[in-house]
Amino acid sequence: MSGRAPEVVRVATAAPYDVTVGRGLLASVPDLLRRTLPGVRRVALVHPEPLGALADDLAARLGEHDALTVLRLPVPDGEVAKTVTTAERCWTALGAAGFTRSDAVLTLGGGATTDLGGFVAAAWLRGVPVVHVPTTLLAMVDAAVGGKTGVNSAAGKNLVGAFHEPAAVVCDLDLLATLPRAELVAGMAEVVKCGFVADPAVLDLVEADPGAALDPAGDVLAELVVRAVRVKADVVAGDLRERGGDATGHPGREALNYGHTLAHAIERAHDYGVRHGEAVAIGCVFVADLARRAGLLDAAVAERHRTVLAAVGLPTTHDATPFDELLATMRVDKKSRGASLRLVVLHALADPRILADPDEGLLRAAYAATGPAPGEPHEEEAP
């Protein structure tokens, strides 16, 4: 995408919006706001505290010529921000400033920021417009698109939230150059996931040149972002509120949760100290092995999960967190129905289905297969 015009992916839900992917887009955010939300004169800018300088720059652009008044809402960095307490602080600030339905929320940050900021917008006055400017790979391809918002609670991750679609999403690929490499690698888990559940060309691109896939300045990563956004846009347009799939057996939006049931349990067990993408990578390996053991998935496709994820530096094994602890959390996952544990699995490449109430012996065996190989140290013992 270097030197090329930005690409626009249309999310064709009942309230359609555009996801713009390109370079040098941060400067265009004020004009986009004026075009998309012409009546807005005040904006609440939600951003993590470490991105203060970038938020300063964006706020200055928004305020040029007195076009927009900006209320700064700095929040903690990462998953620790996703609490009702933080959201309440934001709502208190909006109330003190007199924010009305003609005002808007603008998020600048990673997935936790878009989740939190979207939830703040969804609940304030029962819904004010929100525009997302994701700054991480994970947020660009996942959290900022699709309208899922939420915070974490003692019961689990993202169990408190609302569907609230953005008015627009701006993915400035230049921002990826500022990411620590570990964060860029973690975000690749959501990209690879899209390859397995819907677009195998993603896997081909990663396997052909894993280094190029992680180069923020190159065209391969740009292509991967666009493809992942298209996958999510297509799925969301057909099943925004995750109410189910179609007559073919496709699980609809639930397909995007591939690998996430175990991933969310791992995150909670580690008090959200494990990166989301790292947990998703382990979760994908787990459900692929589960599907193989259940006789649903070819062994070669299951093994491909390990090779593709490892090629970009993602973990494919996990430490010895007791499975009973993880299983208890998995049973209150959003995809569960009553006492039924439901997991997204593959029957073949790009053929996701729901596996309900799998045999517990298979679950335990698949989890054991994500442990370190004989002779390898556990995560906490690694040098």
Annotated catalytic residue within 64, 65, 126, 243:
126
18 a known binding residue?
no
Q: Contacts from 81-84 at CB under 8 Å and sequence distance 24+? A: 81/48, 81/112, 81/113, 81/116, 82/112, 82/115, 82/116, 82/150, 82/151, 82/152, 82/158, 83/151, 83/152, 84/151, 84/153, 84/160
Output the CA–CA distances (angstroms, integers) from residue 233 to 51, 222, 281, in the order listed. 28, 16, 22
307 a known binding residue?
no
| Residues listed for the chain | 383
Looking up tokens 């990663």 gives 206
- Note the Cα 196 to chain centre separation in Å: 16
Selection from 275, 280, 277 nearest residue 262 by Cα: 280
369 a known binding residue?
no
364 is catalytic: no
Annotated catalytic residue within 158, 223, 230, 242:
242
Distance CA 329, CA 319 (A): 17
276 a known binding residue?
yes
82 a known binding residue?
yes
303 a known binding residue?
no
257 is catalytic: yes
Distance CA 6, CA 14 (A): 24
253 is catalytic: yes
Annotated catalytic residue within 257, 267, 278, 353:
257
351 a known binding residue?
no
132 is catalytic: no
79 a known binding residue?
yes
User: Could you write out the DSSP letters of every residue in 79-138?
Assistant: GGG-SHHHHHHHHHHHHHHT--TT-EEEEEESHHHHHHHHHHHHHGGG---EEEEE-SHH
114 a known binding residue?
yes
- Note the Cα 134 to chain centre separation in Å: 10
190 a known binding residue?
yes
331 is catalytic: no
Q: What are phi and psi of 346, to 5 degrees?
A: -105, 140
Annotated catalytic residue within 164, 193, 264, 318:
264
13 a known binding residue?
no
334 is catalytic: no
Selection from 180, 157, 354 nearest residue 266 by Cα: 157
Annotated catalytic residue within 164, 227, 230, 232:
232
Distance CA 188, CA 110 (A): 14
Selection from 199, 256, 253, 258 nearest residue 224 by Cα: 199
Tokens of 148: 């899922």
Distance CA 97, CA 69 (A): 11
Annotated catalytic residue within 23, 268, 275, 276:
276
Annotated catalytic residue within 260, 293, 335, 342:
260
264 is catalytic: yes
78 a known binding residue?
yes
Annotated catalytic residue within 253, 268, 292, 334:
253
23 is catalytic: no
321 a known binding residue?
no
77 a known binding residue?
yes
Annotated catalytic residue within 23, 47, 132, 148:
148
115 a known binding residue?
yes
111 a known binding residue?
yes
Residues with catalytic function: 126, 148, 190, 232, 242, 253, 257, 260, 264, 276
Q: Which residues does the annotation place in the binding site for Zn(2+)?
A: 190, 260, 276
Q: Which residues does the annotation place in the binding site for NAD(+)?
A: 77-82, 111-115, 135-136, 148, 157
Q: Which residues does the annotation place in the binding site?
A: 77-82, 111-115, 135-136, 148, 157, 190, 260, 276
